[in-house]
Structure 1
Amino acid sequence: MLSTILFDGKEKLSEDASRPQENVIDLEDESVTNNPPTTPRPVVILDSDDEDDGDRRFGPMLREKIMKSLVSLAGETKMTDKGVFVGAEEFDDNDLSKREDDGLGDIWNEMSLALECSKDVAEYSSSDEYMQEDEEYCDHSFVLKDDLGYVCRICGVIERGIETIIEVQFNKKKSTRTYASESRNAKDRDSNEMVGIELSEEDLMVTDISAHPRHMKQMKPHQVEGFNFLRSNLVVDNPGGCIMAHAPGSGKTFMIISFMQSFLAKYPHARPLVVLPKGILATWKKEFQTWQVEDIPLHDFYSVKADSRMQQLEVLKQWVEHKSILFLGYKQFSSIVCDDVNNKVAASCQEILLKRPTILILDEGHTPRNENTDVLQSLAKVQTPRKVVLSGTLYQNHVKEVFNILNLVRPKFLRLDTSRAIVKRIMSKVQFHGVKKHLKTGETVFFDLVEHSLQKDQDFRRKVSIIQDLREMTSKVLHYYKGDFLDELPGLVDFTVVVKLSSRQKQEVEKLKKKWARKFKRSSVGSAVYMHPNLYNISENSDLTDDKMDGFLEELNSVSEPLKFLERLTVKVKGWLLGREIFVISGESSSDHREWSMERFNNSTEAKVFFGSIKACGEGISLVGASRVLILDVHLNPSVTRQAIGRAFRPGQKKKVYAYRLVAADSPEEEDHSACFRKEAIAKMWFEWNEYCGYQDFEVETVDLKECGDPFLESPLLGEDVRELYKR
């Protein structure tokens, strides 16, 4: 069964319902399925709903042909295998972690953890003949000794050396349980009084930490390296923040979960705070359940419906008073920190969030990249130096945004002693052509010159030299991994399909260029024209029900919302039903609906098509049930498109993934695509270039449509309307 994800909606329809639709592929036409790919899978279709960036577009009429062809394939084939996610086994900690008497609860926690380690790590083997002979005559009874490891108390044989065991002794520092009696007296405390343990850096004595052996078994080399990188920044005499820029699907969540559990095992009074997009909270909790080695409570406002500040304060108190982890959405966090502090309850919430976190984890950490937003400014106020940014697409639009994130984890990054000399070195190399230096000052000039050099400098050797300087400057605080392990998957073929416009569409495009000077407005209205020229006058219609949509379909006067249009078109022509063959996720979808839709699409043999807005499906979504992804938007932020493709091309995928980025030829959309490619080139040069790449520009490859190796694109009915085909 072929499953498809469709992002956005730019389909090419017949201009007149009464005319023969010679160039439109009939959904019932069998010719498209000649020589289909072996065991194709469901199709995913994504849409852009990010109006703030001015990126919402639809597409040319030909795109309906493509969509129809794919859903036709989806209806005529069957799925034969599924992706499988293998997690850690569950184990019983014998409730040792619950013992709190006389301050021994933490030690029992560690002993429980250490004993569990012994179940998972291979038994120590030795070739010593004496030991082998002795083992035959001794019923060993192993005990843990701090300086040796697991030692038989009868014969003295060492089963496992101490160096192979995760640390099990907490620091026995006086006064670490500063508020040990507070939980017993919680009822007598004023509701607005600060609670919990306020740790100083002295309370966090620097000792080495290691990943749990169960986690080490599952970690890939880049995750082990990342764990050690976190340790080198967060568990040192002078800790500081860092950035983990690992490709989508490379297991960042698992790695940071492992690190947090090891950190809490060593420092049980630490309080991690995870700030993340609201939509991926359920994914994080599921990952914790999979990888937890002890039952650590996970707090958030959503699950307990804590909407008021008083309700939120109660959740924050639970987090502070007991060993646990707190999750907040970016908007939730900034709204509390920026709240009116004249209110005592709000002030208490704010104080807890700014003073209590021991580690601040920012998932999809490129989100707060604009220095003028409340989100970035509020996160910068958190007092802990341990701030970790997780991002699969660190470079978004501009060089300056990357340095905004660097400033978040390491304040005044360019002014640090380790950066100043390199900044001067870079400034001595860059070319000032095209940059109005006299109009800008300080860091802004540096950002613009670096971006101009990476994007437009004709001397590639100079580009390489600047890249090497940037990497030297950031090497200790930025760990990059481009996802080499993804090469182990069946493969990704990434096409850009430039499709022709009809003569009527070309006329409407020219009108758009003259009428709308603002890029966002021109793009949003133009997107409807790319789908069908009749949509120009109704492109701003947002009040659309299923009945209205069906009425539009009857008259070929469709709508401005492409997902709804395509959904109803598929229902009407194929007779498929929502929740059975068709699945939809938009920005308004609840977390439960997102989880249910993903599970059904990936595992149901009836699933055919998944429609999703590109933003709603760009983070925390796994759609490995699909092997073909249609991007019907040219998003001005190319990392958003990359994230969307990464929903299908990720661990668990069993088939080769084909991605189709559809672009309207000779339109502003084509100009946007070129701008996006230049941004992608900067990210590749900065983070991925090496001496083996050679001194060459990063360009897409032009491909002959008839020899592209994709039977779907080689269909004559599709080929007649494709102007060019590129391959990344």
Structure 2
Amino acid sequence: MSLNAFKEALKPCKTFPSTTECSIFTRSESDPPNPRKPPKSSLSQKLQRLEDSLVLPQRKPQEQHKDPQVRIGDNEFDDDDDDDEEEEQGKIEKTRFDFFQFDHTGPFEPLLLSSDGELPVIQVPASINCRLLEHQREGVRFLYQLYKSNHGGILGDDMGLGKTIQTIAFLAAVFGNDGESAVSKGGPQGQNGPVLIICPTSVIHNWENEFSKWANFNVAVYHGVNRDLILDKLRINGVEILITSFDTYRIQGSILSEVQWEIVIVDEAHRLKNEKSKLYQACLDINTCKRFGLTGTVMQNKIMELFNLLDWVAPGSLGTREHFREFYDEPLKHGQRSNAPEKFVQVADKRKMHLVSVLRKYMIRRTKEETIGHLMMGKEDNIVFCAMSELQRRVYRRMLQLPDIQCLINKDLPCSCGSPLTQVECCKRTVPDGAIWPYLHRDNPEGCDSCPFCLVLPCLVKLQQISNHLELIKPNPRDDPDKQGKDAEFASAVFGDDIDLVGGNMQSESFMDLSDVKNCGKMRALEKLMFSWASQGDKILLFSYSVRMLDILEKFLIRKGYCFSRLDGSTPTNLRQSLVDNFNSSPSKQVFLISTRAGGLGLNLVSANRVVIFDPNWNPAQDLQAQDRSFRFGQKRHVVVFRLLAAGSLEELVYSRQVYKQQLSNIAVSGKIEKRYFEGVQDCKEFQGELFGICNLFRDLSDKLFTSEIIELHEEQGQEHRNPCSVKQNLTGLEAIFVPLKEKSEMLSIERKTRKPYTLQNTTTHKPMLEELGIVYAHRNEDIVNIGPGMQGKNEGCMPQNSNTRNLPISEVRRKKSAAAGKENVTIITDHKRAQYSLLARFKGMQEIEFSKWILSASPLEREQVLRDYKRRKEKLRNG
């Protein structure tokens, strides 16, 4: 062995980060190819990777072609060369990995909350402050300012941003808990009142664990059989923090309201959205002014929910209920109508700005993208409209023809008996010949007071079951025999002549029949998508609201050979965390099958990077909570969400209402600009449009592309604020599904000239692939919802006082702001990078799709070589 080789062997191994995202930089050309491709990135990120590679020091020409293994024993290198090479390599490593050094903590010093000269000094202990992220420090300051003002407020951060930790840090500061001594010093001005925390039962132990990790409080749980003992301890000041559940407080609220609480905190505070609920009424009697709500979804369904929550934490902050409805609720809803007059839109803009300026005093709202976006790879929320099978379509149409649903559809038509009354007021109030009504009124043949509207919910459930899987409308063996018999009759009625194709009207016991995908459109698409993901090493979360649907999906996974875990309501609470830990740590676990109700809160499944929501919920917050089981702090990969909808079914209307509710929430809470898609207005019979009313619920959409038609109509009309860089996504292959590969300048120029959007329907080349996947239409939810930036925490949230801008809509006001110049520059830069990317693809002799795949799988040296050759050729053309 030569001397140089011996020295080389004695050198310590260089340490490289082990994260997945760094692997694309450390792999050399001689290494075997990575079996799993890195997560996709945006066009600008791909170009940035190529450009960053030029920053790396270049090897000398004679060194580029030498084998590293041969160089170790090559005698032409002396000791000085080795030292220089090691120093150079250190610079390369620093350049490569500085981007991935995440500074999560701050200095080991207290966080001062009180003003200069204010006594006593209120500060977050250094032991807690050093572990907080910057947005969490801002949240603690906000909570203290509310506390200092002797009123409450809302910490409305996204799920997964540490609302619990911010609350504990705030309490530690207020009560002088330094995190070391076992007894706190009491609150400011000698106040020693206890703190009440009301939360869902499933997170009680999480609160206990977090208190034990972050501070030293006397914590007690008022839940279960030991409530009386805890209450006695509380009365003798032996408890500083009392934790209880929603159900316990609803029942025992009269007892707990007698205590003079220093602070009351309600976790998942959106549970207080209904002012008529017993929980809300019980919480109104809480004996304190300092009420704080923690929620990631401040508003879920209606703008009035926002009033209910704010009126609880800060009574009177938004005026009376009637004033809020007339001044904010109605103008915002009518201003969002697609065909609203311009005057309505301008009034809505002004009221929106005013509402946001008021909310900012009592609420802080941050998203993951604003706070920890640089620590995560991002998330995409894809809406996939799957074609129903032919059998599903026939059954769905028979369901709509049942007397029960026809009675609801024709309720406002004149009665056929010649009476001046409508059908619902005369002869069609009851449906004795129906398939559902007789069973609902088996004990009352004359009908109930709400007939026939009592049929709405049962019929909606049946339509959703048909949309998901035909087996769901058959009798459930867990039901009583009478109910099973009635469900069997209903199944026979809707199956009709196809009853033999589905194995009769009783639940099938055949494993092969239940796991077969031929009669379920969603499962056909899921089968092909999962095959692609599994081959790439992705881990999948599969959510469904129906336990019976989970049973069918479980058999499907067994048949396909996937290794999976399952969690639903029957899973014991003490086993759930072990299931989560096993899934996160085991590479063999490919799929986690989860009930949305059981797994919507408290689960941390950051090892998964694919999320499938099999059936949508009327409440958009439920689907968002399911997504956040994977997309939360600690996720190291790009998360892609797929929400499966049955095209032409009720589920399209469910999703459209989700969009409507999300838009209203963004407008009212954050003051964002939203596209106006729909004619309907919530809770307004005069403007039901295409979304609201019973007739819309039971409309036959099987021969329409309901959602895509609404979106395309908006694009064609160009109503407002169209983003010129927003291009409809296309599907070109399983490995590149929903990746924006058609974003190029030629398409944008064509679109500007013709004023017609580049849509899926304009492209015929991708139709066979879509049909093969069983997908009718698809788009990204973020392309539909949330077009403009919000005003939370920004100066422009206040009402403009300039007479020249007072009567202008918000779009014009913002356009006159200086910040608009920066946005235009970003657009110009993006267009430039897009054009450069297209030129690079042509230089490589590839289509952009093929070039995108090549970039993600190429080594740094290969990417560097492409840029070097491209620039060399560009110089030759310029000089020649």
TM-score (norm 2): 0.51
Shift of 1:701: 6.4
Give the one of 478, 482, 503 matched to 2:390: 503
Amino acid at match of 1:510: R
**3-state DSSP class of the match of 1:584?**
strand
Q: Residues 198-227 of structure 1: CA distance to partner in whole angstroms, max 9, x if unpaired? A: xxxxxxx98552222232223233222211
For structure 2, list consecutive stretches of 5 or more residues without a partner in the other structure.
Answer: 1-33, 41-99, 177-184, 409-454, 482-505, 517-545, 676-718, 740-765, 783-880
Q: How does 1:648-667 map to 2 (within 5 A)?
A: 648-667=630-649
Give the one of 155, 169, 177 matched to 1:258: 169
2:252 equivalent to 1:336:
yes
2:354 paired residue number: 469
Shift of 1:372: 0.8
Q: Residues 496-522 of structure 1: CA distance to partner in whole angstroms, max 9, x if unpaired? A: 001111222112222333444544323
Contact 2:335 2:347 in 1 (8 A): no
Q: Residues 127-174 of structure 1: CA distance to partner in whole angstroms, max 9, x if unpaired? A: xxxxxxxxxxxxxxxxxxxxxxxxxxxxxxxxxxxx97799xxxxxxx
2:367 equivalent to 1:482:
yes
Shift of 1:249: 1.2
Amino acid at match of 2:219: L
1:313 paired residue number: 228
Partners of 1:683 and 1:327 in 2: CA distance: 30
Structure 1 pair 336/461, CA: closer, same or farther in 2 (3 Å)? Answer: same
Amino acid at match of 1:298: V
2:298 equivalent to 1:379:
no
Partners of 2:515 and 2:579 in 1: CA distance: 29
Structure 1 pair 588/299, CA: closer, same or farther in 2 (3 Å)? Answer: farther
2:206 equivalent to 1:283:
yes
Contact 2:514 2:555 in 1 (8 A): no
| Aligned-pair identity (%) | 22
Structure 1 pair 386/164, CA: closer, same or farther in 2 (3 Å)? Answer: closer
Q: Could you say which structure has the greater relative contact order, defined with CA pairs below 8 angstroms and 6 or more residues apart?
A: 1
Partners of 1:645 and 1:555 in 2: CA distance: 30
1:96 paired residue number: none
2:301 paired residue number: 397
Shift of 1:698: 9.8
Partners of 2:266 and 2:391 in 1: CA distance: 48
Structure 1 pair 717/679, CA: closer, same or farther in 2 (3 Å)? Answer: closer
For structure 1, list consecutive stretches of 5 or more residues without a partner in the other structure.
Answer: 1-33, 41-82, 89-116, 123-162, 168-204, 338-349, 417-422, 424-440
1:53 paired residue number: none
Shift of 1:411: 2.0
Contact 1:296 1:325 in 2 (8 A): yes
Q: Residues 541-582 of structure 1: CA distance to partner in whole angstroms, max 9, x if unpaired? A: 6589xxx999243443999711122123323542x6xxxx42
**3-state DSSP class of the match of 1:385?**
coil
Structure 1 pair 667/391, CA: closer, same or farther in 2 (3 Å)? Answer: same
Structure 1 pair 290/674, CA: closer, same or farther in 2 (3 Å)? Answer: same
Structure 1 pair 413/573, CA: closer, same or farther in 2 (3 Å)? Answer: same
Structure 1 pair 358/369, CA: closer, same or farther in 2 (3 Å)? Answer: same
1:609 paired residue number: 591
Structure with the larger helix share: 2
Partners of 1:164 and 1:333 in 2: CA distance: 34
Amino acid at match of 1:315: I
2:605 equivalent to 1:623:
yes
Aligned positions, number: 493
Shift of 1:526: 2.3
Contact 2:111 2:125 in 1 (8 A): no
Q: How does 1:83-122 map to 2 (within 5 A)?
A: 121=108
Contact 1:535 1:560 in 2 (8 A): no
1:668 paired residue number: 650
2:127 paired residue number: 214
Give the one of 770, 779, 800 matched to 1:726: 779
Give the one of 548, 554, 560 matched to 1:561: 548
**3-state DSSP class of the match of 1:589?**
coil
Q: How does 1:156-555 map to 2 (within 5 A)?
A: 207-236=120-149, 239-265=150-176, 267=186, 269-292=192-215, 295-302=216-223, 306-307=224-225, 311-320=226-235, 321-337=237-253, 350-415=254-319, 443-446=324-327, 448-453=329-334, 455-456=336-337, 457=340, 459=342, 460-483=345-368, 484-488=370-374, 489-515=376-402, 516=405, 517=408, 518-538=455-475, 551-555=509-513
Contact 1:549 1:565 in 2 (8 A): no
Amino acid at match of 1:408: W
**3-state DSSP class of the match of 2:169?**
helix
Amino acid at match of 1:326: L
**3-state DSSP class of the match of 1:702?**
coil
Amino acid at match of 1:479: I
Partners of 2:155 and 2:284 in 1: CA distance: 18
Structure with the larger strand share: 1
Partners of 2:269 and 2:385 in 1: CA distance: 33
Amino acid at match of 1:481: R
2:467 equivalent to 1:582:
no
Partners of 1:455 and 1:226 in 2: CA distance: 31
Structure 1 pair 319/563, CA: closer, same or farther in 2 (3 Å)? Answer: farther
Amino acid at match of 2:582: R
TM-score (norm 1): 0.61
Partners of 1:479 and 1:564 in 2: CA distance: 41
Structure 1 pair 39/412, CA: closer, same or farther in 2 (3 Å)? Answer: closer
**3-state DSSP class of the match of 2:608?**
coil
Instruction: Give runs of ≥4 in structure 1 deviating > 6 Å.
Output: 83-88, 163-167, 557-560, 691-694, 697-701, 712-715
**3-state DSSP class of the match of 1:223?**
helix
Contact 2:152 2:289 in 1 (8 A): yes
1:593 paired residue number: 575
Amino acid at match of 1:696: H
Q: Residues 383-438 of structure 1: CA distance to partner in whole angstroms, max 9, x if unpaired? A: 1111100011111000001100011112233338xxxxxx9xxxxxxxxxxxxxxx
2:732 paired residue number: 706
Contact 1:649 1:657 in 2 (8 A): yes
Amino acid at match of 1:622: N
2:38 paired residue number: 38
**3-state DSSP class of the match of 1:612?**
strand
Partners of 2:241 and 2:381 in 1: CA distance: 39
Partners of 2:350 and 2:131 in 1: CA distance: 37
Partners of 1:372 and 1:603 in 2: CA distance: 45
Partners of 2:548 and 2:663 in 1: CA distance: 31
Q: Residues 329-376 of structure 1: CA distance to partner in whole angstroms, max 9, x if unpaired? A: 101100112xxxxxxxxxxxx334442321111111001210111101
2:721 equivalent to 1:696:
yes
Contact 2:564 2:593 in 1 (8 A): yes
Partners of 1:587 and 1:372 in 2: CA distance: 28
Shift of 1:241: 1.2
Structure 1 pair 716/356, CA: closer, same or farther in 2 (3 Å)? Answer: same
Shift of 1:465: 1.9
**3-state DSSP class of the match of 2:175?**
helix
Amino acid at match of 1:250: L
Amino acid at match of 1:500: A
Stretch of structure 1 that moved more, 458-467 or 668-677: 458-467
Amino acid at match of 1:282: H
